[in-house]
């Protein structure tokens, strides 16, 4: 009986040690992943004058497809010269439509996108308490089809939890939230800024 109890005790200690090691490794991997997040510098212009800079980091560990798509678009220079075409103070600012650059004098097509663009399937993580559309989060704009995201994105101005599980969050603003405020509160005609607000985005070295 004593031998059996000793064997059971050893087995319990071994299992606990393995679990502790696994949890430690999981935590370490998570910390390393967050440290390795790619960062980008967005320079914003209003009527050609610099409004400020926004630093964004993406979440490849949570939204790898959207993060990779954003990275490829930044690397190709796609976003340079595109505009924030839809601005709603207290809600969000939306940009990244190619028509804002390719058809600069036709606001009627801004936001309609290009049907030839690559589509990115949805990446929802609504079950995680931290995965919510809070102020400063970067999320993918889309049509009624959840799997229709392309280049357009929006930055949340104020917490909008009703978007959780409906739109794919893939990054966040880590510096320059005051510039987001400037964009969000710019004078608009409907939801389009009266003075065109454009951007340039570059990838920062790790």
Give yes or no for residue 173 having a pLDDT over 60. Answer: yes
Rounded CA separation 111/63 (Å)? 23
User: What's the confidence (pLDDT) of residue 201?
Assistant: 98
Q: Are residues 3 and 57 in the same domain?
A: no
Q: Are residues 1 and 42 in the same domain?
A: no
Give yes or no for residue 16 having a pLDDT over 80. Answer: no
Give yes or no for residue 36 having a pLDDT over 60. Answer: yes
Residue 2: band (very low, low, confident or very high) from pLDDT cuts 50, 70, 90: low
Q: Are residues 103 and 23 in the same domain?
A: no
Strands (DSSP E) found in 89-150:
92-95, 137-140
Residue 125: band (very low, low, confident or very high) from pLDDT cuts 50, 70, 90: confident
Instruction: Please name the helix (run of DSSP H) or strand (run of DSSP E) that holds residue 169, with its range, or none.
Output: strand 169-175
The count of domains in the chain is 2
Q: For residue 47, give the nearest of 201, 198, 203 by alpha carbon.
A: 198
Q: Are residues 137 and 44 in the same domain?
A: yes
Structure token pair of residue 73: 């678009």
Q: Are residues 53 and 25 in the same domain?
A: no
Question: What is the percent of the chain where pLDDT is above 90?
Answer: 78
Q: Are residues 59 and 1 in the same domain?
A: no
Q: Are residues 43 and 31 in the same domain?
A: no
Does residue 1 or residue 159 have the better pLDDT? 159
Q: Are residues 11 and 51 in the same domain?
A: no
**What is the extent of the structural domain holding 75?**
38-203
Q: Are residues 28 and 50 in the same domain?
A: no
Give yes or no for residue 43 having a pLDDT over 70. Answer: yes
């Amino acid at each position: 009986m004593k031998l059996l109890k000793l064997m059971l005790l050893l087995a319990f200690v071994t299992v606990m040690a393995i679990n502790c090691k696994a949890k430690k490794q999981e935590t370490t991997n998570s910390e390393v992943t967050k440290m390795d997040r790619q960062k980008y510098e967005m320079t914003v212009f209003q009527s050609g004058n610099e409004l400020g800079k926004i630093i964004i980091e993406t979440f490849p560990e949570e939204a790898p497809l959207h993060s990779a798509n954003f990275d490829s678009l930044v690397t190709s220079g796609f976003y340079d010269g595109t505009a924030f075409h839809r601005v709603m103070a207290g809600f969000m600012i939306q940009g990244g439509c190619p028509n804002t650059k390719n058809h600069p004098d036709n606001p009627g097509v801004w936001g309609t996108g290009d049907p030839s663009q690559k589509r990115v399937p949805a990446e929802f993580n609504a079950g995680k308490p931290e995965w919510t559309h809070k102020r400063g989060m970067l999320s993918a704009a889309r049509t009624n089809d959840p799997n229709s995201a392309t280049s357009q994105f929006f930055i949340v101005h104020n917490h909008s939890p009703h978007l959780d599980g409906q739109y794919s969050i893939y990054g966040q603003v880590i510096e320059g939230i005051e510039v987001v405020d400037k964009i969000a509160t710019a004078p608009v005609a409907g939801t389009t800024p009266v003075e065109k607000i454009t951007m340039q985005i570059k990838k920062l070295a790790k």
